[in-house]
Structure 1
Amino acid sequence: MSDKAATLTMLNKMCENTLMETLEIKYVATGEDYLVATMPVNSRVHQPDGILNGGATMALAESVGSPASLLAIDRDKYSVRGIEFSANHLRSVKSGIITATAKIIHKGKTIHLVEIKVVDDRGRVISICKITNYILAK
């Protein structure tokens, strides 16, 4: 098993019995400077008028934004806590799969700023999010 495959297996295993499992979020790709996860869009994540709830989009984005920092630190010495999150929702989605890609745009000793782009299954941007993660000594 490659390092990337092992990382994805580890991340997906961490999601068992959590919100990420409930929302069917799956980590699908990782690289030196990015982490990617997907989530299906169906009635379980709709708001009452039948489109994707912005909160579900934010849950996906945070679920990829925090682990992006986790992969960039020594997990034996530090943990990650999201301390600020923002989202701009640009397009609505009724069904399909959405994909979130997180990239650290500032990697300080104690603060990481992560940008997350969420796209629909046609590659159209539906949300741009940012999370500020605090790197906390254990």
Structure 2
Amino acid sequence: MPLQGNLTPHGRLHGGASVALAESLGTLGCHLHAGVGRTAVGLDINATHHRSPASDMVTGIAVPMHRGRTTASYQVTIHDAQGALTCTSRITCLIIPR
């Protein structure tokens, strides 16, 4: 995700942009897990912002923590281009019929 357009008035990455990225990645992973005829909606999300990125781009990776029949949880880590951890988030999604 580019930092351009996602900055606070102070010029730092907005925490809400990191959470939006984490929710997008976690929900996508859960949606793929849910399978045909079902979809995923966010139920809970939290984030810890560790540091401001030292680059103009961040990358997020979602790893499943729990993949059940009705819920799934993912841990999302966001790193800057130098590999420094900038944010850790956990999202839980509810799996529902489409």
The residue that corresponds to 1:129 in the other structure is 89
Query: 1:101 deviation in Å?
Result: 0.2
Alpha-carbon distance in structure 2 between the residues aligned to 1:102 and 1:68 = 7
How many correspondences in the alignment?
98
The residue that corresponds to 1:27 in the other structure is none
The runs of at least 4 consecutive aligned structure 1 residues that moved more than 4 Å come to none
Higher relative contact order (CA 8 A, sep 6+): 2
Is structure 2 residue 5 aligned with structure 1 residue 56? no
Written as runs of structure 1 = structure 2, the 5 A alignment for 1:42-81 is 42=4, 44-74=5-35, 76-81=36-41
Alpha-carbon distance in structure 1 between the residues aligned to 2:31 and 2:48 = 24
Query: 1:70 deviation in Å?
Result: 1.1
TM, length-normalised to structure 1: 0.68
How much is the aligned-residue C-alpha RMSD, in angstroms? 1.1
Alpha-carbon distance in structure 2 between the residues aligned to 1:79 and 1:119 = 28
Q: Percent identity?
A: 32
- Unaligned runs of 5+ residues in structure 1 are 1-38
Which structure is higher in helix share? 1
Alpha-carbon distance in structure 1 between the residues aligned to 2:55 and 2:16 = 16
Contact 1:41 1:96 in 2 (8 A): yes
Query: 1:130 deviation in Å?
Result: 0.5
Written as runs of structure 1 = structure 2, the 5 A alignment for 1:1-138 is 39-42=1-4, 44-74=5-35, 76-93=36-53, 95-138=55-98
- Unaligned runs of 5+ residues in structure 2 are none
Contact 1:50 1:94 in 2 (8 A): no
Alpha-carbon distance in structure 2 between the residues aligned to 1:63 and 1:73 = 15
Alpha-carbon distance in structure 1 between the residues aligned to 2:92 and 2:71 = 7
SS at structure 2 position matched to 1:45: coil
